[in-house]
Structure 1
Amino acid sequence: MDKQTITIYDVAREANVSMATVSRVVNGNPNVKPATRQKVLKVIEKLDYRPNAVARGLASKKTTTVGVVIPDITNIYFSTLARGIDDVATMYKYNIILANSDENSQKEVSTLDNLFAKQVDGLIYMGHNISDAVRAEFSRAKTPIVLAGSVDPDEQVASVNIDYKAAVKEAVALLLQKGAKKIAFVSSAMNQPINGEYRLSGYTEALAEAKIPYDGNLVFETDYNFRAGEALWDKLQAVGADAAYVADDELSVGVLDGALDHGAKVPKDFQIITSNNTFLTEITRPQLSSISQPLYDIGAVAMRLLTKMMNKETVSEKTVLLPFTITERSSTKK
């Protein structure tokens, strides 16, 4: 028999039971005699029957599928979040469709369109910027949506993250405490609320409390990658920066290598504190001090929140803030 044509009917006939019994076995319903369950499972294995998720979805109006939009699949920050999402999705028997949006607003909209067309039951969105076009897609879809490691300043969309403002304020205060005088703020696009609103206000508050005037020349926008960090060193030197808070680990490694390549000693001449505490912080020499956020947990909690929303359970808190700490390593002074 052609594997493609094996149906629940074939399994029922071969096992000499009703289709309802096969359905109960497939869906893990306990109301089946153990001997019958074993018989049906043997036939399923013999015929290599695979339940048709699409057909099941049509019957139940659910596809048990969750869409996950990830801005950059190669960035360890996002892939660690995705691990947490995937583990909880598996636990609750949801399948995941992972889509890479390249932080490109047009691609984000077409990616969302594709996922909603596949009738996903819910969506986890990790893009750092919710453009008006993306927000319009969200409201049109009527599908539960949770942001993971991303913020909605309007708090219309549920989200799980850390308090980015407080974290950056603490990181910058630590650099000041360790003698830094001119601290650069290095992130990607400032039109992303996570950078331009939350992180930047943490930076400016830390400076204000230390009675240090804000200097726009010390604020840098760049791409989140190693090469961009290396290329930044000349500009950091030109403005006389003696330390930097950097919003991404790979970018931090680039800044560190740029400094070392030009003969600067880290942390003696230049101090660095980064943001995500991924394993990159430990494989550099010197190792990088970092804000430490529970990335895996952010993904896991976001997925759990989404399961509650998909099942119409009561959600008491739509904005979930998980705790952060600062991990001091060798890129800041002792």
Structure 2
Amino acid sequence: MEHKKVTIYDLAREAGVSTATVSRVIAGNYPVSQGTREKVQQIIDHYNYHPNALARTLSNKKSKLIGFITPAITNPFFSQVFVEVEKSALEKGYSVLLGNSLNDREIEARYIRMLLEQQAEGIILLGGLINDSNPDLERVQELIAIQKRTKLVMINGSVEGMGNCSISTDEAAGMRLIIDHLVRQGHRKIGLIGGVKGITTTDIKVSTFKAELKKHQLIFRKSWQCYSEYSIEGGEDGFKQLMSLNKEVPTALIGINDMVGVGMIKASKRYPNQHFAFVGFDDTSLAQTSSPELTSVRHPYEELGKRAIEMMEANAKAQHVMLAPSLVVKESTVKSINRV
């Protein structure tokens, strides 16, 4: 026999035993006579045989594989969460397969099929469908069907009626931290840029923003709240839109995420005579490398990753955990500001 082609059937034939006996010797936790065990083990060692991982999965129902599906790994928030999930998974002996769906439903479905075929012990979802305020019912039914075959854990999102585990950062609390900070800095004119209406994370931030302005007896101006996606380009476009629509502009601007915050800072450089305080959301590497460094709400990334894996291992079918964020204050709100 050639070493590269040896199979469990070849080993059984040479040892004169059944494939079940060879499997018991490999597993090491089933009774096999000492003589037979030694004979089979010698043949295994001779051919340097390693059992097929999928075959082991089928026999013991444990693949130690977890899927992680997100629509845009280029989003630094998504990538930072993935890093922490992977760290925690590796510590527990799992492998993580990353599925970057590129916001494409077919690509997402392909990854899910692949994970189910490989007997993945669970799938973690971040972004996409689980952030829709009114998710497509057909896709919800697809998720329910998937959940009957493997465990689903959702990060920073949920789907009503799913009854699965989810973990989120309290983004409403994050927005409250921002408004409190800006008010203490003396700002009375505050705007919010970015996001897409109908996405839960955006809807939560916008509704909390309005409520906090009211609580602090500040005026909400519709033209100071602009939807403009989640990218750096979206931040630039939203800032330009605000400047074109208003004779009077805010002294402080909140970006729906760090990418939008950086885009606003970039666009503001075209207005050297007007100065603003800027705040982002997520405290990713962008917030730390922008100029000025961007004050931002930070997710408890390590805890998100750790708890997501714990949920994957837990027997509980439905559990939701909400984690507290923090505000990391940097240059963009503490420098001297000319209030217009």
Write the distance in 2 (CA, Å) between the matches of 1:183 and 1:270.
10
- Aligned residues of 1:171 and 1:291 also touching (Cα < 8 A): yes
Q: Indicate the residue corresponding to 1:139 in structure 2.
A: 144
Pick from 283, 292, 298: which aligns with 2:289? 283
CA RMSD of aligned residues (A): 3.4
Q: Deviations over 1:75-130 (max 9, x none)?
A: 22111111121122223332222111223455444543443344422110001443
Deviation at 1:326, TM superposition (A): 0.8
Tell me if 1:56 matches 2:56: yes
Q: Indicate the residue corresponding to 2:328 in structure 1.
A: 327
Write the distance in 2 (CA, Å) between the matches of 1:48 and 1:104.
43
**Structure 2 vs 1, CA of residues 182 and 13 (structure 1 numbering), >3 Å: closer, same or farther?**
farther
Match runs of 1:15-94 below 5 Å: 19-20=22-23, 22-24=25-27, 47=47, 49-94=49-94
- Aligned residues of 2:228 and 2:237 also touching (Cα < 8 A): no
Q: Deviations over 1:5-47 (max 9, x none)?
A: 243566789999963465236xxx7x999xx99x979976x85
What amino acid is aligned across from residue 7 of structure 1 in structure 2? Answer: T
The normalised TM-score by structure 2 is 0.80
Write the distance in 2 (CA, Å) between the matches of 1:41 and 1:223.
63
Tell me if 1:258 matches 2:267: yes
The normalised TM-score by structure 1 is 0.81
User: Structure 1 vs Structure 2: percent identity of aligned residues?
Assistant: 24
**Structure 2 vs 1, CA of residues 179 and 206 (structure 1 numbering), >3 Å: closer, same or farther?**
same
Pick from 182, 191, 195: which aligns with 2:189? 182
**Structure 2 vs 1, CA of residues 13 and 117 (structure 1 numbering), >3 Å: closer, same or farther?**
closer
Deviation at 1:207, TM superposition (A): 0.6
What amino acid is aligned across from residue 23 of structure 1 in structure 2? Answer: I
Q: Deviations over 1:138-167 (max 9, x none)?
A: 111212111123344667332112111111
- Aligned residues of 1:81 and 1:299 also touching (Cα < 8 A): yes
Write the distance in 2 (CA, Å) between the matches of 1:15 and 1:276.
60
Q: Which runs of 5+ in 2 are unaligned?
A: 336-340
Deviation at 1:303, TM superposition (A): 1.6
**Structure 2 vs 1, CA of residues 56 and 286 (structure 1 numbering), >3 Å: closer, same or farther?**
same
Write the distance in 2 (CA, Å) between the matches of 1:9 and 1:24.
16
**Structure 2 vs 1, CA of residues 140 and 151 (structure 1 numbering), >3 Å: closer, same or farther?**
closer
Deviation at 1:49, TM superposition (A): 4.1
What amino acid is aligned across from residue 180 of structure 1 in structure 2? Answer: H
- Aligned residues of 2:194 and 2:230 also touching (Cα < 8 A): yes
Match runs of 1:112-127 below 5 Å: 112-127=112-127
- Aligned residues of 2:126 and 2:154 also touching (Cα < 8 A): yes
What amino acid is aligned across from residue 157 of structure 1 in structure 2? Answer: N
What amino acid is aligned across from residue 331 of structure 1 in structure 2? Answer: S
**Structure 2 vs 1, CA of residues 220 and 14 (structure 1 numbering), >3 Å: closer, same or farther?**
farther
SS of structure 1 residue aligned to 2:253:
strand
Deviation at 1:208, TM superposition (A): 1.0
Q: Indicate the residue corresponding to 2:174 in structure 1.
A: 167
Deviation at 1:245, TM superposition (A): 1.5
Aligned residues: 318
Q: Which runs of 5+ in 1 are unaligned?
A: none
Write the distance in 1 (CA, Å) between the matches of 2:326 and 2:198.
26
**Structure 2 vs 1, CA of residues 254 and 40 (structure 1 numbering), >3 Å: closer, same or farther?**
farther
- Aligned residues of 1:77 and 1:295 also touching (Cα < 8 A): no
**Structure 2 vs 1, CA of residues 55 and 272 (structure 1 numbering), >3 Å: closer, same or farther?**
same
